[in-house]
Structures are given as C-alpha cells and as structure tokens.
Amino acid sequence: MNLQTQYMSNKDEGIDWIEVAKKALNNILELSQSQKVSEKFRSYNILLFIFSLAFNIVYYLGGFANQGLSFLLVVFIAFFISLVLSLGYAPILEILVNVTNNPIQSLRMSITILYISITLGIASFSCNLQLLSHTSLSLILLQSLTIPIIGSFVSNEKVQDIEINSKKLLTYLGHISNVVGLISFILDIALLYLGST
C-alpha cells in the first residue's frame, strides 16, 4: 500500500464517536460499581456534569424554539456531545480529588453545586435567558476548582473513604446535598413543563 492509499484509508476511518461514547459510559459504570464512597461520588459527579453541560448545549442549539422531533434530536445531540466531553473531564476530576485532603466532603459540595447548575441550565432554555446559562456553566467550573480546597473549609473532621452499599449512597451524601437535590429536581420538572407549554 502506497502512502497516498494509506492516507486515504486512515482519513476514511476517522474517529468512531460511538466507541468514544461507549468508553465514556463504561468509565461511569466502572466507577459506580465500586464500593468505595469516593468512586461512587465521582461517577455521580460525572453524570451530573453530563446533564448540566447537555442542558446548556440545548440552550445554545435553540432550546424549545425547536418543536417536536427537532427538540428531541437537539437533546440527543447535546447529551451525546456531553458524554464524549466527559471522557476528558473524568481524569481531571480524578486528579482534583486525589490532591484534596478531604475528598468525600469536597465531592459532596461539588455535587450540591452541580444540582444548582443543572437547574440553571434547564431554566436557561426554558426561559431563554443567556445569563442563566453563563451562570450554570460558571458553576461547573467553580465546583471543579473548589474540589482541591473546599474539603478543608467544610469540616475539620475528615470523612473516611469507606466501602458502602449502593442503596446507602444518598444517605452518605448528606442532608444538605439531598435537600438541594430534591428542590432542584422539583424545579427542573416545573421549568421543563412551563417551558414546553
């Protein structure tokens, strides 16, 4: 095979984005199946990152201005892009968690911030407000930047990275995070309903 033929063959192959997305999903699945609290929290963080980023992408792709199947296609594209991007986010998150002196507390706070980011992301395309999208994206960045240091300020008592059953994940997440998550979920449903009507 000459160089030109080899070049054309490689060009035709390109990147298999389906495989990339599968790899991202497998990464989340592997972390979620771990019994360690920190790894379960990391999988949850990545999942919330995907949702938050996807809802913001939906806003930039027109949100509810798209009708019917067009809107569903936009949502699918947004989540696919977010899933692929999570493959780059995951190792960065792992590094940030490894350098903090209190990974569990840091991940609890980051998850709480991501709950709020998701709600603002949904509100951005439901209400068609760019400021909300910018705030939502800023919170994604903020929760990442604060992971290495926030554990020191949240509590002086370091939470042990023990092994737990998956059913106890929300219990171990803490009351504040669960309350914020529940409120955010209710607001998310309401915003989606109001935006679609």
Q: Give the model's confidence band at 15: pLDDT under 50 very low, under 70 low, under 90 confident, else very high.
A: confident
CA distance 90 to 149: 18
Q: Give the model's confidence band at 37: pLDDT under 50 very low, under 70 low, under 90 confident, else very high.
A: confident
Percent of the chain residues topping a pLDDT of 90:
44
Q: Give the model's confidence band at 197: pLDDT under 50 very low, under 70 low, under 90 confident, else very high.
A: confident
CB atoms within 10 A of CB 134: 13
Q: What is the pLDDT of residue 11?
A: 47
Q: Where are the domains of the chain?
A: 17-196
CB atoms within 10 A of CB 89: 18
CA distance 132 to 120: 6
Q: Letter for the amino acid at 177?
A: S
Q: What is the pLDDT of residue 99?
A: 86
Single pTM value for the model: 0.85
| Closest among 72, 148, 57 to 110, alpha carbons compared | 148
pLDDT at 3 over 50: no
What would the pLDDT profile of 93-123 be if each residue is shown by its tens digit? 999 998 888 888 889 899 999 999 999 999 9
* Position with higher pLDDT, 61 vs 101: 61
pLDDT at 7 over 70: no
What would the pLDDT profile of 135-182 be if each residue is shown by its tens digit? 999 999 999 988 888 766 655 556 666 666 666 666 767 777 888 888
pLDDT at 1 over 90: no
Radius of gyration of the chain from Cα atoms? 19
CA dihedral 95, 101, 106, 107 (to 10 degrees): 50
Which is it for the CA torsion 141, 146, 148, 151, positive or negative? negative
